[in-house]
Structure 1
Amino acid sequence: MVVGAGGAGLYAALTAALEGARVVLVAATPLAQTASYWAQGGLAAALAADDSPDIHRQDTETAGRGAVRRSAANVLVREAPHAVDDLQRLGVRFDADRRGRLALSLEGGHSRRRVAHAGGSATGRRVVRQLSAVVAEDPRITVLEPARAAAAWTVDGRCVGVVLEDGRAIHARASILATGGAAALWSRTTNPPGSLGIGMLLAHDAGAALADLEFVQFHPTAVTGIPGREGFLVTEAIRGEGATLHDARGERFVEELAPRDEVSRAVHQTMREQGVTHVDLDMREVDMAKFPNVVDALRESGLDPATTRIPVAPASHYVMGGVVADLDGATTVPGLYAVGESSCTGLHGANRLASNSLSECFVWGRRAALAGLTETEVPAASLPAPPAAAPIQKPSRATQEALWTYAGIERTREGLEHLLTDPHPLARLVARCALLREETRGSHRRSDFPETDPALDGRHAVVRGEHEPVSEPWI
């Protein structure tokens, strides 16, 4: 069983089906309308002649600020090129030059051109549409849409399936959570409204460990002040093609292709010092034909990027933390797997390297599907009745505003302690992890602990049940 029909879920379902398994795919929205659909970045993979998996790993570790789990990074950089090849086999057409060679882009934090795109900044749309079409035609995959998972079905500590919001219980040899991230818990976000960490809470309620919830990446170039386009993401690849950031005086103030945590922090600080609500992104020298969906969206809102600078400000974009998962996506609950943004393998450390996330979806989607096929099946006849479906808890607007205020780009002990009383359980878990990390590292900035503590290199805030988080080393 696969819960979630974004890139990770679709690929996991296809991988299992190709191995001969029968698969149930649970989709909260109709196929091809998931968060992955909106992904403008591409797939990071060492495909160029001047690149290598080792260089890709080094860039990943540099961006992750001493918190990347090296074993996870090694898996990604070794297997990402295969994922690109396999997606092409499944019919995904990546952008290529006139000779048919992949047109690789440069993005922030990368020292080489290694990001494969499809349709310029429409990669997520192209990939998800194609995989959705292949899934829909596969007789071994049953798609339930729209449907939502409400609880893991566990027996004696093992996950044997999932209970849906409407009360249906699906028994499965292995259950894979590919439910996406939690960035929409913050009031200003680039994410669709459904990115609320639902899979994280489902796993937590089933007894699975969560980790690194304090590491929340804020994307520096989200459109602001434009009705209907608030939070619209202007992809980092545009800065890779020469777009620049300017303050209220019209001056450049940051190295645009530095890792995202640096750029977001510089934008935030500049806005605060100058008393403004945005900085300006100048993409007038960029080839507009390379980014048709971004250009069209901006023009529809009344902004022509060919002649006008675009007002941008940081927005919550990606939660590096999630359900603790090993190198095959297995969680701490047997029979339950987590992949993609709902998981936490330690790959991203304290700051995700641009476009590693889509690659992660396909690398771990495949690994989890193959590992799940090795699970021992528990006969349905021997199982007790499944639990009742609990209503999915959604955050109030007050919770979203509180997370933005107290767990935004800068945090303090007082603000985080305020979040401990929030009614939403994931908001409280974010605060607990952030309070444990008394330092500034990557996307986690504590103004009361402004320095990075070397003693916390390679350590992760892990929370189990209602116990206080503990700092654990991962290798």
Structure 2
Amino acid sequence: MPDPHLHETEIAVVGAGGAGLYAALTAARAGARVTLVSATPLAFTASYWAQGGIAAALAADDSPDLHRQDTEVAGRGLVRRSAANVLVREAPGVVDDLQRLGVRFDADRHGRLSLGLEGGHSVRRVVHAGGSATGRRVVRQLSAVVAEDPRITVFEGTRVSALWTDGGRVVGLACEDGRAVRARATILATGGAAALWSRTTNPPGSLGIGLMLAHAAGAALADLEFAQFHPTAVTGIPGREGFLVTEAIRGEGARLLDRDGERFVEELSPRDEVSRAVWATMRAQGTDHVDLDMRMVDAGKFPNVVGALRESGLDPATTLVPVAPAAHYVMGGIVADLDGATTVPGLYAVGESACTGLHGANRLASNSLTECFVLGGRAAQAALGEPAPRAATALPAPPREATIVLPERATQEALWTHAGIERTAEGLRTLLDDPHPLARFVARCALLREESRGAHRRTDFPELDPALDGHHAVVRGEDEPRLEHWA
């Protein structure tokens, strides 16, 4: 008799954000049976809160090559060109496909897609849905399509406790409720790790869960020293601490002002530059914030931002918004190739949980949602070519040690203090004995990179070292990380 705790499928997807939903739909549309495992209800993931849009070369004055150049400039000599080429060439196609799936992007009165301008982009190329509600609109629509697809089984409110391995290959996963899923391929789309820092724009669950699952299964991790800090996260407003004010608002003319009401930075510079300028201004003037002046911005273009601020008692149409940097996006993750394949057979990683080298040392705004769909689709297609797992005589045994370790508040405070916008060797060494494994990996990678590049700034090594162009800090097992050159 079949074991009632064992669920057989072809493709298992962990995570129901943009990358996971699109991967599941791509595999299902190819005729595969898919099981989607989500710790949260559908349409309530980190992607849901994404205020940025989808970057794609759609305008007459734009091109994939120009998009790639902007990506490489933002990435500070660490962008893997092959990954960037895949993204920029396939981005327009995924925008078209999302529209076919029912996503309605913002358009002008002639029906042409409205294109926004964000930091680091040389032209307008960011499509939105509902202004700054893009993540919400896209995830809701894709979730609805997933829920109606008979080839997709959804396990909502289900947490994965470990990946199921057999002979060095991932053949499925084990869930905390005792169920197991056996599949020819498993795709991790579990999101990022920015909630490991005490001040963050991310929801509480963005703790690098997929990275820990993959590492326990033997997969390599990379670039964990590169944590991007968003420069305009609300501060000092009860109930809205860390609430992100999208960069697109600065693209529409909002300005950053110091204590004296003076501009101090070019607002549409890449995020690493803007965040450091905000941080330096706060330190120089002895304040805990700078002000975002969005009084001249059309509030109708950003309804969720304006609505959230007004609910908190601040009207951005008449009042300056206090903002300060917050941990927002980790460029590092599970090492993956351009089809999402990791260093362990049968295991794929996409979205923020993956590291292909696309983002380099500093992610270009709105490339992340684009990556979710481009790489999510590619991974699903590649996963279909994996061999079926051999029949198992027993369900996977529970891991001997806990795969998932939740951070204590002290870990989050320590990462903010010692692995924040500015780092020193002395501070980073204090993290080497932290109880959380990812905190230790972040510190080890950051200590290895003795330079300042993009989102990683060492005050004891303030200059960029050209000899490290193209070199990525890779973590394999419990060995010390090594710098490896990615062609």
TM-score of the superposition, structure 2-length normalised?
A: 0.97
Gapped regions of structure 1 (runs ≥ 5): none
Aligned length: 474
2:68/2:84 contact within 8 Å kept: yes
- Summarize the alignment of residues 170-249 of structure 1 with structure 2, pairs less than 5 Å apart: 170-249=181-260
1:293-348 Cα deviation digits (max 9, x unpaired): 00000000011000000000000000000000000000000000000000000000
Q: Residue 396 of structure 2 aligns with which residue? A: 386
**8 Å Cα contact 2:212-2:404 kept in structure 1:** no
Within-5 A mapping of 1:416-427? 416-427=428-439
Report 1:182-331 matches (<5 A): 182-331=193-342
Give the alignment partner of residue 74 of structure 1, picking from 62, 70, 85: 85
Q: Which residue of 1 aligns with 2:378?
A: 367
Q: Aligned partners of 2:160 and 2:191: how far apart in 1?
A: 13
- Work out the CA distance in 2 between the residues paired with 1:440 and 1:106: 27
Q: Distance in 1 between matches of 2:213 and 2:251?
A: 38
Give, in whole Å, the separation in 2 of the partners of 1:369 and 1:150.
22
User: Hey, what's the Cα distance between the residues in 1 that align with 2:179 and 2:395?
Assistant: 11
> Do 2:172 and 2:181's aligned partners in 1 also have CA atoms closer than 8 Å?
yes
Distance, in Å, in 2 between the alignment partners of 1:12 and 1:80 is 15
Task: Supply the distance in 2 between the matched residues of 1:254 and 1:167 (Cα, whole angstroms).
Answer: 53
1:123 aligns with 2:134: yes
1:31-86 per-position Cα deviation (integer Å, ceiling 9, x unaligned):
00000000000000000000000000000000000000000000000001001000
Aligned position for 2:412: 400
Shift of 1:148: 1.0
TM-score, scaled to structure 1: 0.99
Matched, 1:443 2:455: yes
Q: CA deviation at 1:224?
A: 0.1
Distance, in Å, in 1 between the alignment partners of 2:249 and 2:445 is 34
> Do 2:180 and 2:395's aligned partners in 1 also have CA atoms closer than 8 Å?
no
2:355 pairs, out of 319, 323, 344, with 344
- Specify the SS of the correspondent of 1:24: strand
Q: Is the 8 A contact 2:289 2:322 kept in 1?
A: yes
Higher deviation after alignment, 164-173 or 305-314: 164-173
- Paired with 1:254 and 1:49, the residues of 2 have a C-alpha distance of 29
Q: Identify the residue that residue 440 of structure 2 maps to in structure 1.
A: 428
Could you tell me which amino acid in structure 1 is paired with residue 437 of structure 2? P
Q: How far apart, CA to CA, are the structure 2 residues paired with 1:411 and 1:158?
A: 38
Per-residue CA deviation, residues 191-217 of structure 1 (Å, 9 max, x unaligned), is 000000000010001000000000000
Deviation at 1:378, TM superposition (A): 1.4
Q: Do 2:212 and 2:403's aligned partners in 1 also have CA atoms closer than 8 Å?
A: no
Mapped partners of 1:391, 1:261: distance in 2: 32
How far does residue 167 in structure 1 lie from its aligned partner after superposition? 2.4
2:234 and 2:391 map into 1 onto residues whose CA distance is: 50
Is residue 171–residue 380 contact of structure 1 (8 Å, CA) maintained in 2? no
Q: Aligned letter for 1:54?
A: D
Q: Secondary structure at the match of 1:419?
A: coil
CA offset digits 1:367-391 (Å, max 9, x no partner) = 000000000111324x554130546
CA contact (8 A) 2:213 2:403 kept: no
Q: Higher mean Cα deviation, 308-317 or 155-164? A: 155-164
Looking at structure 2, the residues matched to 265 and 167 of structure 1 have their Cα atoms a distance apart, in angstroms, of 46
> 2: CA distance between counterparts of 1:179 and 1:387?
23
CA distance in 1, matches of 2:222, 2:26: 27
Equivalents in 1 of 2:110, 2:132: separation in Å?
A: 21
SS in structure 1 of the partner of residue 430 of structure 2: helix
Amino acid aligned to 1:426: L
- Tell me the secondary structure at the aligned position of residue 380 of structure 1: coil
Distance 1:253 1:342, change over 3 A: same
Pairwise CA distance, 1:150: 1.3
Distance 2:167 2:463 in 1: 44
Q: For residue 483 of structure 2, what is the aligned residue in structure 1?
A: 471
Aligned counterpart for 2:149 among listed residues 133, 138, 143? 138
Instruction: Render the CA deviation track for 1:129-187: whole Å, top value 9, x for unaligned.
Output: 00000000000000001001111111111000011122221100000000000000000
2: distance between equivalents of 1:461 and 1:166?
36
Cα distance in 2 for partners of 1:368, 1:148 equals 22
Q: Distance in 2 between matches of 1:167 and 1:308?
A: 52
The superposition leaves residues 369-420 of structure 1 with CA deviations (integer Å, 9 ceiling, x where unpaired) of: 0000000111324x55413054631100000000000000000001111000
Matches of 1:307 and 1:275, distance apart in 2: 25
Report the Cα offset of residue 425 of structure 1: 0.4
Q: Deviations over 1:105-124 (max 9, x none)?
A: 00000001000000000000
2:397 and 2:24 mapped to 1: Cα distance? 25
What is the match of residue 421 of structure 2?
A: 409
2:336 touches 2:343 (CA, 8 Å); kept in 1?
yes
What residue in structure 1 maps to residue 125 of structure 2?
114
Separation in 2, partners of 1:380, 1:324: 29
> Separation in 1 of the partners of 2:16 and 2:146?
10
**Paired residue type of 1:253:** F
Helix, strand or coil: the match of 1:386? coil
Q: d(CA) in 2 for partners of 1:203 and 1:393? A: 13
What is the aligned partner in structure 1 of residue 470 from structure 2? 458
1:9: which partner in 2? 20
User: What secondary structure does 2:277 align onto?
Assistant: helix
CA distance in 2 between partners of 1:252 and 1:365 (Å)? 40
1:358 equivalent in structure 2: 369
1:48 corresponds to 2:62? no
Which one of 350, 353, 377 corresponds to residue 388 of structure 2? 377
